[in-house]
Chain A
Amino acid sequence: MNSAHIFHQWSAILFVVVIAIIGECLIAAGMRGLGDLDRFRTRPGLSGYLGPVRAVLSNPLFLIGALCMALNFFAMLYTLSIVELSLAAPAIASLTYIGNTVAAKLFLHENVDRRRWLAALFVCAGVVLLSK
């Protein structure tokens, strides 16, 4: 396996990770902007849920985020065709966790304290161990 091939593999993995982080952050920002979804319920019962669904589906941040997640799905399919599953799955999952934590702190201004950093790192390590 030459270095160009390894570079190709890791570029694909990083692309999947970056597009997932952008998608997750946009969706989180959109949902945070909407706030409590119960506010959009028009009436009691099952048909009352149409209000929240309409509110979410007409949120531009959510829509762009969902588009990113769709792109992420196809990029993941491509990545799995050139990278072994045992490398791609834990690498993508753990890098996405760390990247999301950093992005949530930087862009969503979430209060990422030591407890949440530890949680993200523990999940990463756990995912890597689970895939062994």
Chain B
Amino acid sequence: MLTASVGDTLLSRGMSQVGPVDLHHLGLLLHALTNINVIAGILLLIGFFASYTTALSWADLTFVMPATAFGYVVIALLSRFWLHEYLSPYRWAGIVLIVCAVGFVANGPSRTDHPDLDLMDSGVGR
């Protein structure tokens, strides 16, 4: 959960440095590939995707999804305390809701036990 949310945060930081890409100037995309920020963004994207898929190998999708949503909270807090952006009461309420959601799933089991599947690859189920 931590690697995924940190990866998510780093990714959004990398991509925000890239800036907006206009759909009507697709040639810019090729030029953007030479940008160090874009390369960092792509590497971070791969890192996030790898940690996300690894998490899916030992946990349920419905467990991993809300857990990675914690990345939204980290992004919001980073923008508040690092970029000094203003967070409206709505956003604080949103942060509280997502923290609650992560708390819900974190207290429960991370994986549904499938007897037939666990028989197939014994020792894998947790």
B93 interfacial by beta-carbon distance below 8 Å: yes
A43 interfacial by beta-carbon distance below 8 Å: no
- Per the bound structure, the CA–CA distance linking A56 and B88 in Å amounts to 42
Are the CB atoms of A120 and B66 closer together than 8 Å? Answer: yes
Mask: chain B, 82-102; 1 = CB below 8 Å from A; 0 = not:
000000101101111110111
> How many A residues, CB 8 Å from partner?
42
* Interface residues, chain B, with chain A CB atoms under 8 Å away: 23, 53-54, 56-58, 60-66, 69, 72, 76, 88, 90-91, 93-98, 100-102, 104-105, 107-109, 112, 114, 117, 121, 123-124
Q: List 7 A-B contacts (CB under 8 A).
A: A28-B61, A35-B58, A37-B54, A108-B61, A110-B60, A116-B104, A123-B65
* Interface residues, chain A, with chain B CB atoms under 8 Å away: 24-25, 27-28, 31-32, 34-37, 39, 56, 62, 77-78, 81, 97, 100-101, 104-105, 108-113, 115-116, 118-123, 125-130, 132
